[in-house]
Amino acid sequence: MQTRPPLRELGLNSGKKTRLRRILFDHGLRNGTAFFLPYDQGLEHGPRDFFANPQASDPAYIVKLAIAGGFNGIAVQIGLAEKFYWDYAGEVPLILKLNGKTDIPADAQALSPVHASVEDAVRLGADAVGYTLYVGSPAQEADFAQYRQIRADAHRFGMPLIVWAYPRGAAIEAKGGKDSFYAVDYAARVASELGADVVKVNFPHPEKQDSVKPAYRAEFSSQQAIEAVVRSANRTLVLVSGGEKSGDEAMLAKARQAMDAGGLGLIFGRNVWQRGYDESLRFVESLREILAAHPSE
């Protein structure tokens, strides 16, 4: 079982350390683990994601669910933060997503445009900002350039920076796909190299080996793969994404492996709010039991 580095070893300035400590020790289980509820899918995927549970199309419902479920924070785009978060400010930490795109164009040259600022996050009382970085996209030059400004502003304002490190593009699809071990491992390392405080990754699939680099063609278990991803992120803390809604046992196994690997925590959206309210809270409680077994400083 791998362990997470304590906050004092992460090289954070005082503003970042204060906000991150507030997220991890004043909310959720208050034990140094993180459980975030992302709600940026309305922009990223469109309203279709709410068909399974129409109540989830109401942002107020999601914020109430985050509070009732004891989440460490909720991630939303700026429009929803401005229209809905103020009703619940201070009750659950806000992670303001600073960029996003629709899924109407193909991902061949994926780029997530910036539409909010770190200054907006400060104004809204956020405790962290989120940025989607498409690792491997042909548009990475423009992506890196806008990310560089976000990183500088986050440092200047003392705001923790969470990077959604998502492999995308034709080159990625030709090398095992966006959730192959090779792609996810590379994405975690890129986020660390580029100065992310926390990185959000998909769970790696080591069995996806078509045209991947030779080092990734060996036999790896799922546990070995996620442990390697956490090592690649080194002093960048790792959140594991839930992805598309799946069966409970598969999601709980993913959560256990992520935490055993030394992950900071989980960021599950559709697997939570695509259920009815009571079922959501029951599932959340099962995940919280896993997080409770992995406290840190």
Catalytic residues: 166, 200
DSSP state of 6: P
Instruction: Give the three-class secondary structure for 73.
Output: strand
Residues sharing a CB contact under 8 Å with residue 274, sequence separation 6 or more, in sequence order: 49, 52, 53, 56, 245
Give Cα 70 distance to the centre of its chain. Answer: 17
CA distances from 25 to 7, 19, 35, 73 (A): 11, 10, 12, 12
Cα 110 to Cα 115: distance, rounded to the nearest angstrom: 16
Q: How far apart are CA 149 and CA 265, in angstroms?
A: 27
Cβ neighbors of 7 (< 8 A, separation 6 or more) are 17, 20, 21, 24, 297
Q: Which residues of 64-102 are buried (b: 16+ CB within 10 A; e: fewer)?
A: bbbeebbbbbbbbbbebbeebbeeeeeebbbbbbbbbbe
Rg value, the chain, Cα: 18
For residue 264, the SS3 value is: coil
